[in-house]
Amino acid sequence: MLIIAERADITTLAVDAIVNAANCSLLGGGGVDGAIHRAAGRELLESCRKFGGCPTGEARITPGFKLPAKFVIHTPGPVWGGGTRGEAALLASCYRNSLRLAAEAGCRSIAFPCISTGVYRFPAEAAAKIAVDTVRSWTENLPEKVVFACFSSASLEIYRRLLGAGEGA
Ligand code: APR
């Protein structure tokens, strides 16, 4: 499993699945959620409605519609509340549940945004460490490629440092 970090708008990535940092309604929003819904088109919202929402830390998969990616995996991350409300465990389950759905759908490549580090205010460095550690410890049905799609150079810098010279292509 190749794990890389790159500066990217996740909506442009032609991977099998992109992960959406959604909210529990799954009805769209701002940030990367808004960008993905805009790029995928109206059908994505229709497809999300049928779930009737999604609890924090869980994930739901839909087609990618107009996106280059075949699938979108929607996962509501935790809102940062200071770190004493199980935020770390919930964020790790976002990554694990997304990897599980991707494996079930036969995805060979998956791209993650920096879940919870925008509107949800999860500290970027701590979130990135949880993301990298969770992906690295995933051992079932590995995808061939995991991309951490960093929207800012600051995020990219964090991921590149965590991945080390070896893997952060
Ligand atoms: N591609 C990749 N990453 C992006 C993009 C994009 N097009 N747009 C934003 N990001 C990055 C942000 O810079 C941030 O690092 O995604 C990360 C997550 O930020 P948010 O999108 O704010 O997501 P989050 O912090 O998880 O908050 C989720 O915000 O948009 C609403 O509906 C969403 O209520 C939910 C909440």
Report all structural domains of the chain as residue ranges with CATH numbers, in order of start.
Answer: 2-167 (3.40.220.10)
Place of tokens 């309604």: 25
pLDDT tens digits along 41-83 = 999 999 999 999 999 999 999 999 999 999 999 999 999 999 9
Does the CB atom of residue 21 touch ligand 1 within 6 A? yes
Is 9 part of the annotated catalytic residue set? Answer: no
Task: Using a cut of 0.95, tell me whether the model's pTM lies above it.
Answer: yes
Distance from C-alpha of 102 to C-alpha of 96, rounded to nearest angstrom: 10
Cα separation, 113 vs 30, in Å, equals 14
Instruction: List the residue whose alpha carbon is closest to atom 19 of ligand 1.
Output: 118
CB-ligand 1 contact for 35 (6 Å cutoff): yes
In angstroms, what is the span from residue 91 Cα to ligand 1's centroid? 14
pLDDT tens digit sequence for 11-44:
999 999 999 999 999 999 999 999 999 999 999 9
30: burial class by Cβ within 10 Å (0-12, 13-18, 19+)? Answer: exposed
